[in-house]
C-alpha cells in the first residue's frame, strides 16, 4: 500500500477525532434532551427498540460526528433523522457526539 495514502488516512482520522472530541459532554447531554433525541434513541442513547431506533450510546465520537453531518447534509437520508439533523450546528454535533460516546 502507498505510504502517502496511509499517512493521509491517519491524518484524516486524527483530525476527525479532534473535531469530535472538541465538544462538551454536559452541553451535549442538555442538547440531547432539548432536541428530543431521547424520544427515539432512549435515555443516554440506549434505545428501547433498537430494531427501529439504533442504540447510539458508546459509539465512537468521530463516527457519530460523521453520521450526524451526513444526515444534516442529506448525503445520508432518513425520513426522521434528516430533518432532525438539519438544524444542528457543528458545535451541537460535537457536543452530542462527546456525550453519547461516553455513555455505556
Q: What is the 3-state secondary structure (H, E, C) of 44-97?
A: HHCCCCCCCCCCCCCCCHHHHHHHHHHHHHCCCCCCCHHHHHHCCCHHHHHHHH
pLDDT grade for 36, boundaries at 50, 70 and 90: very high
Query: Structurally, how many domains does the chain consist of?
Result: 1
Percent of the chain with pLDDT over 90: 78
| pLDDT value at residue 21 | 54
72: cell is: 444534516
User: What are 64-87's pLDDT values in tens digits?
Assistant: 999 999 999 999 999 999 999 999
Domain ranges, residue 81 = 3-101
| pLDDT value at residue 22 | 82
For position 40, which CATH number holds?
A: 1.10.760.10
Amino acid at each position: 500500500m502507498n505510504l502517502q495514502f496511509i499517512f493521509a488516512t491517519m491524518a484524516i482520522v486524527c483530525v476527525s477525532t479532534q473535531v469530535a472530541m472538541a465538544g462538551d459532554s454536559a452541553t451535549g447531554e442538555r442538547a440531547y434532551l432539548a432536541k428530543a433525541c431521547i424520544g427515539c434513541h432512549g435515555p443516554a442513547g440506549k434505545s428501547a427498540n433498537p430494531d427501529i431506533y439504533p442504540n447510539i450510546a458508546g459509539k465512537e465520537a468521530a463516527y457519530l460526528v460523521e453520521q450526524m453531518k451526513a444526515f444534516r447534509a442529506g448525503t445520508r437520508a432518513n425520513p426522521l433523522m434528516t430533518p432532525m439533523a438539519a438544524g444542528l450546528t457543528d458545535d451541537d454535533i460535537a457536543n452530542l457526539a462527546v456525550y453519547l460516546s461516553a455513555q455505556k
